[in-house]
């Protein structure tokens, strides 16, 4: 479904009040009016009024039932950074919680450094450290919603700025969302990044998918309607025998499968790019995802049952009679859930996910339920999945093979072996060449890498320019967090 650019205040409030009867409507209204005042006359690169951006961020959160503090913070999230509003004013007008959230997602600017203004690269690096140091649950979801809107509207941004935004999302924000187990947003962010990084491939995949879907529109349309009639508890049941079970269903919805999800499957099955047309077929790929949200307390005639028991009852009484059959039963990428792979009479495939209401809420909002700083202390070492990045095989000095991201540098390689080796990297040799190679030297398939370290060598902020992988980036963030958090002077570039 195309991203909806149009947004109104009433739309946000209708979404919010539908979930929250005892709601702080006045607080949201004041935040909206304040944001409108501060962003008045400002336009985004696309030419639209800037206020539409924070409004869409608030809408993303309202759609998923977040509370008023989240929406107020979303509406105000750019006023400190872009409008020279002090955090103290946000605290005075909207309270400490909103002020802390807005402050956490506000990037550092030159005014935060006085006369000793750092380079933009150094300032951005310190902003990432600040983000992780002050990250709370509220700030995380506001930042995620902010990034979803930024990536969804990135066509209005210059091309040279798109890739860095996607890379930052993959290496900083997605790992945060993964740590919070907010997999719903991880999936969205990964798909948006994939589209930015591989526009040509996405275009080809969409072309093939759209052709297949068009050729099978009658069959899939009939099947999707059948699923809706069977599972939508608001509709009249097609079979009276289903009535006792329909009270267990909370919600049923369907959507197109994401491009990055399709690509993960492609990479598992495709040996080279020329095989895309051969394997990208309707009987090999499910292009539609179905979600069945069921009650936490499932029962059949007073006896507790599991979600899958409910599915098999529906399969026996309705799905099989409509010509559907079970092809497979699999775990999701995050292994937080499972799905049934179903096929219709024309061999079109569908992924059916069954989650209890609690499980679905965890999928949306993660496992963290308090608002303490969950990145407190030293940032944990995180390695995001980045499953769609091309890989190469290289070798350590002892001949041990290692798989690493394509375009990785020798410094990435050092961090891949051990953090200390990366932090004290001096130079490297490749293969039989004894030339001293700098940290930014790119690796190629089959290289044998020799790393020379020196305990006297310390990282500088320029090292962020030399690494490509999430692991190396997070080791550097962790290192600078220690310095920054302890009050020491940050190293110069």
Q: Which residues are catalytic?
A: 81-82
Distance set, CA 391 to CA 54, 163, 373, 477, 485 (Å): 37, 18, 34, 24, 35
Instruction: Give φ, ψ of 112 to 5 degrees.
Output: -80, -10
Quote the CA–CA distance of 315 and 227 in Å, as a whole number: 11
For the chain, the three-class secondary structure string (H helix, E strand, C coil) is: CCCCCCCCHHHHHHHHHHHCCCCCHHHHHHHHHHHHHHCCCCECCCCCECCHHHHHHHHHHHHCCCCHHHHHHHHHCCHHHHHCCCHHHHHHHHCHHHHHHHHHCCCCCHHHCCCCCCCHHHHHHHHHHHHHHHCCHHHHHHHHHHHHHHHHCHHHCCHHHHHHHHHHHHHHHHHHHHHCCCHHHHHHHHHHHHHHHCHHHHHHHHHHHHHHHHHCHHHHHHHHHHHHHHHCCCCCCCCHHHHHHHCCEEEEEEEECCHHHHHHHHHHHCCCHHHHHHHCCCCCCEEEEEEEEECCCCEECCEECCHHHHHHHHHHHHHHHHCCEEEEEEECCCCCCEEEEEECCCCCEEEEEEEEHHHHHHHHHCCCCCCCCCCCCCCCCCCCCCCCCCEEEEECCCCCEEEEECCCEHHHHHHHHCHHHHHCEEEEEECCEEEEECCCCECCCCCEEEEEECCCCCCCHHHHHCCCCHHHHHHHHHHHHHHHHCCCCCCCC
Pair 125, 464: CB distance under 8 Å: yes
């Amino acid at each position: 479904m195309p991203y909806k650019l149009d947004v109104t205040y009433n739309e946000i409030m209708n979404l919010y009040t539908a979930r929250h009867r005892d709601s702080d409507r006045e607080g949201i209204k004041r935040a909206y009016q304040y944001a409108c005042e501060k962003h008045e006359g400002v336009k985004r690169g696309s030419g639209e009024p800037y206020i539409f951006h924070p409004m869409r961020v608030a809408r993303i959160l309202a759609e998923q039932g977040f509370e008023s503090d989240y929406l107020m913070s979303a509406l105000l999230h750019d006023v400190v950074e872009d409008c020279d509003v002090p955090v103290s004013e946000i605290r005075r007008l909207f309270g400490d919680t909103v002020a802390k959230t807005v402050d956490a997602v506000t990037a550092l600017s030159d005014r935060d450094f006085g006369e000793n203004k750092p380079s933009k690269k150094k300032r951005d690096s310190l902003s990432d450290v600040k983000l992780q140091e002050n990250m709370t649950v509220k700030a995380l979801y506001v930042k995620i919603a902010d990034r979803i809107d930024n990536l969804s509207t990135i066509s209005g941004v210059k091309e040279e700025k798109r890739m860095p935004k996607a890379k930052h999302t993959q290496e900083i924000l997605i790992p945060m969302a993964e740590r919070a187990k907010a997999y719903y947003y991880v999936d969205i962010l990964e798909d948006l990044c994939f589209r930015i990084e591989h526009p040509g491939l996405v275009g080809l995949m969409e072309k093939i998918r759209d052709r297949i879907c068009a050729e099978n529109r009658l069959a899939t349309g009939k099947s999707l309607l059948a699923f809706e009639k069977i599972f939508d508890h608001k509709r009249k049941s097609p079979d009276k025998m289903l009535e006792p079970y329909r009270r267990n269903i909370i919600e049923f919805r369907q959507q197109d499968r994401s491009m990055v999800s399709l690509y993960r499957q492609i990479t598992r099955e495709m040996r080279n790019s020329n095989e895309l047309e051969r394997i990208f077929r309707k009987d090999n790929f499910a292009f539609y995802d179905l979600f069945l949200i069921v009650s936490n307390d499932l029962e059949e005639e007073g006896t507790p049952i599991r979600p899958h028991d409910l599915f098999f009852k529906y399969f026996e009484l309705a799905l099989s009679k409509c010509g559907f059959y079970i092809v497979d039963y699999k775990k999701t990428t995050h292994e937080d859930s499972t799905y049934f792979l179903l096929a219709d009479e024309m061999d079109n495939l569908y992924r059916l996910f069954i989650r209890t209401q609690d499980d679905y809420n965890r999928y949306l909002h993660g496992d963290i339920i308090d608002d303490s700083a969950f990145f407190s202390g030293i940032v944990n070492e995180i390695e995001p999945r980045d499953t769609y990045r091309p890989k190469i095989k290289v070798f350590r000095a002892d001949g041990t093979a290692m798989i690493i991201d394509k375009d990785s540098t020798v410094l990435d390689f050092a961090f891949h072996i051990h953090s200390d080796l990366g932090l004290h990297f001096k130079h490297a040799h490749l293969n039989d060449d004894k030339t001293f190679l700098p940290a930014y030297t790119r690796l190629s398939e089959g290289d044998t890498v020799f790393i020379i370290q020196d305990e006297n060598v310390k990282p500088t902020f320029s090292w962020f320019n030399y690494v490509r992988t999430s692991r190396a980036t997070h080791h550097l963030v962790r290192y600078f967090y220690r310095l920054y958090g302890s009050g020491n002077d940050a190293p110069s570039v």
